Chain A
Amino acid sequence: MNSDQRVAEGQSPNSFRSKPRLGETLIRGFLFVCGALSIAITIGIVYELGTESFLFFQDERVTIVDFLTTTVWQPQVGGFGIWPLVLGTLYIAVVAMVVAVPMGLATAIYLSEYASERVRGFFKPVLEVLVGIPTVVYGFFALTFMTPLLRSVFGSNVVGFFNVLSAGIVVGILIVPLISSLAEDSLRAVPDSLRQAAYALGASKMEVSTRVVVPAALSGIAAGVVVAMSRAVGETMVVTLAAGAAARNFTFGEDSLFGYILNPFQGAQAMTGYVAITASGDIAYNTIDYNSIFAIGLTLFFMTLGLNSLSRRFVSRFRQKYE
């Protein structure tokens, strides 16, 4: 007796439970594979960077200790200390943050607290355009506008053709929209009741912004800043074009700290810059150069991963507070 007959006879059907269908299962399986592919990509990245780095450290010219402790990067003559490249990367990122954090934060405060809907409607798309411009165009801008500008301001005998300052400022411009949009989102998420309470106590608009809204949105803002830092560390094209192709090798104690090691007017190759320059052209497999870019890539991967996880921790703290 099938269920239709049972219904016709006034009996309840034996089961309305959905039957397993082959098509549904296949589609579900396919969709799961799509989702799981992202895990495969991560495993691929870690595996490839890991094995090639392992080969790099297997080479008799390289030891992990030297890699992590010495301060000369000259692969041609066996100098394999990563610090000059890390110095280049971090220095450029710090200059970029010095430019981008105040600008991005002030922009966000203006857009969220002061601007009328019309003003916002004009400036938001402009900032979005800034995000959409490819980084190689920013590199062109750094080399043909920012560097000549700095050279004419500070003197071309002081400022080198390739220099940290130009690269840092342009990377800063590139990440301003990132900071401002993330910070604006968290400023706008602060409940209006806080603002109204402060106004009721007689606070001025500035006091409301800086002492109530910004502190309340602080973890969201911090998340944006950290994401921007990670972006600056991983940025490649501006750094390759404007900061030069020579690692700034140094010796602590011998080289003057501000005259040479931290001189913003001279070039300093960054990690990404080294990878891009070394890999351009037909790089031969299983050479020390080939393996070295993976060791540097692995270091870069962990740096950005650390920054991104930190940022997510800030975000979840922010969410707990207001959601």
Chain B
Amino acid sequence: MTVTAPERESGQRDGQFPTEDEYQGQLGRRTRRASWFQAACLLALVIAVLALATLLYTIINDSFGLVAIVNQNDPEDIVAGLGHDPEVFTIADLSYDEMVDLLEANVSSGVGRRLEREQRFYEHRLVFEDEGTWTEICASDAPPTGCTAGPRDQANLAALVQERVVMPDVIASYQLVPSLLRPEEFEREVEQGFAAGRFTDHTLDQVEIEWRAWFNPTFLVTPQNSTPEVAGIRTAILGSAWLVLITVLFAVPVGVGAAIYLVEYAKQSRMNDFIQTNINNLAGVPSIIYGMLGLAIFVRVLEPFTSGAIFTEGVPPSEDGRTIIAAGLTLGLLTLPVVIISAQEALKAVPDSLRHAGLALGATRWQTVRSQIIPVALPGILTGTILAVARAIGETAPLILVGAASFITTDPTGPFSKFTALPIQIFQWTSYPQQEFHNIAAAASVALLVLLLTLNAVAVILRNRYSRRAE
């Protein structure tokens, strides 16, 4: 049997090792290629981080900046007219009575009556309506919401004054970075816009160029509005809070229970393997499909429950099942597999010696689980749950399916009311073409990201403390 030598590449003499020069050249090429490769890998990592930075930059950039604004009534004049110093005093600092007076002086009586029927201004005094008509309409078959709801609060009234008295109209807005670098260019653009006849409703001398933070404390406490200048995310924040509450109440007990069953009780059997595979599969189902499930089951089939009809006599709290409870349960189903899987990980990390010790002392399985295993696994379970909840807060697609309404101006009153949520607001405002809506979409994104980053930070801190203790 003969062995033939492999054919050598050209440049290499048969039967000889490469010369020193050839060897050095080849080694140099290999080293260079290796460092290029390392640089390319590092570049990919840097690009991924840059993508994150760009995303944050885009959102911040749209949340602040210069605006060209036309106020029907200048807020500084209003404040000065009431005898306050406009340098330090803003509309929001006015007293409740002063704001009601302003409204009375500036809105027509028809609009005033409509606002009062929506929600009254004082507990014991009517501003626009007269007592007789009020008692009459409240006794009618379909009394307006103002008859039952409590009086407006300070934030609500301040928003109303902005909307009805100041009536700001942003005719152009500029992003943060150009506003800082080239503020004069914005003025020129606005002037050119007027010269080209783009802003026909106003004249140039009415326009004030001012700095505006779209993301500000007022934005957080103002209800939703169809004009972006006075819109806020109060209703959306409250809606999201309700959703989280219901999601947690459903997903955490059930999810942790399922994890305990699978880790502590289940023996190797076909049924239990099937449950495990099934949970892994569910974790990969797109969220929009959970939305369809929610629409078909919670909104449609369980409508008497989700609209609250079976809990009340007469008129149900909501005319259909597109309510907070339906959406919260849908998000609960969506979060469930994630909670189960992370709780399983936490339980599996508990050393077996604890189980054996508990059982050896004569404790029953549940006693062991309750007083030995769960306390040790708790930080891990909590971390997983917080991360799952953070994911649920940001989910948009299932909420669209179960019918989150984007235009809700009143606070949700309970699990059976109609609702809107933060991601829904961002989606809706992003899909409008006007720049001002993009500004408030960006500001709402800032609010959402701050919330989620806080939750993530809590989870990370918990995890670090826990892992340090385990070492």
Which residues does A use to contact B, with CB under 8 Å? 18, 21, 23-24, 27-28, 30-39, 41-42, 44-45, 48-49, 52, 102-104, 106-107, 109-111, 114, 123, 125-130, 132-141, 143-145, 173, 176-177, 180, 204-207, 209-210, 227, 230, 233-237, 240-241, 272, 275-276, 279-280, 282-283, 285, 293-294, 297, 300-301, 304-305, 307-309, 312
Q: Which of B48, B253, B281, B394 contacts A127 (CB 8 A)?
A: B48
> Contacts A38-B337, A44-B297, A130-B51; is A107 near B41 (CB within 8 Å)?
yes
> Contacts A39-B275, A180-B48, A308-B284; is A140 near B401 (CB within 8 Å)?
no
By a CB distance below 8 angstroms, the chain A residues around B445 are 137, 140
* Interface flag for B114 (CB, 8 Å): no
By a CB distance below 8 angstroms, the chain A residues around B272 are 35
Cα A24 to Cα B278 with chains together (Å): 26
Task: Decide: B448 and A137 in contact? CB cutoff 8 A.
Answer: yes
Smallest Cβ distance from B257 to chain A, in angstroms? 3
* Interface flag for B397 (CB, 8 Å): yes
By a CB distance below 8 angstroms, the chain B residues around A180 are 48
Task: Decide: A272 and B286 in contact? CB cutoff 8 A.
Answer: yes
* Interface flag for B172 (CB, 8 Å): no
> Contacts A132-B390, A144-B58; is A123 near B275 (CB within 8 Å)?
no
Inter-chain pairs besides A123-B45, A134-B393, A140-B59, 14 sampled, C-beta below 8 Å: A21-B364, A34-B255, A35-B262, A38-B278, A49-B289, A136-B430, A141-B54, A204-B31, A209-B37, A236-B397, A237-B397, A294-B296, A297-B288, A308-B284
Q: Beta-carbon contacts of B403-424 to A below 8 Å, as 1s and 0s?
A: 1000000000000000000010
Task: Decide: B456 and A132 in contact? CB cutoff 8 A.
Answer: yes
* Interface flag for B260 (CB, 8 Å): yes
By a CB distance below 8 angstroms, the chain A residues around B322 are 282
Closest A-chain residue to B334, C-beta based? A41
Task: Decide: B258 and A31 in contact? CB cutoff 8 A.
Answer: yes
By a CB distance below 8 angstroms, the chain B residues around A42 are 278, 281-282
* Interface flag for B204 (CB, 8 Å): no
Cα A150 to Cα B316 with chains together (Å): 51
Smallest Cβ distance from A210 to chain B, in angstroms? 7
> Contacts A139-B430, A141-B55, A180-B48; is A236 near B286 (CB within 8 Å)?
yes
Task: Decide: B396 and A236 in contact? CB cutoff 8 A.
Answer: yes
* Interface flag for B33 (CB, 8 Å): yes
By a CB distance below 8 angstroms, the chain A residues around B293 are 41, 44-45, 48
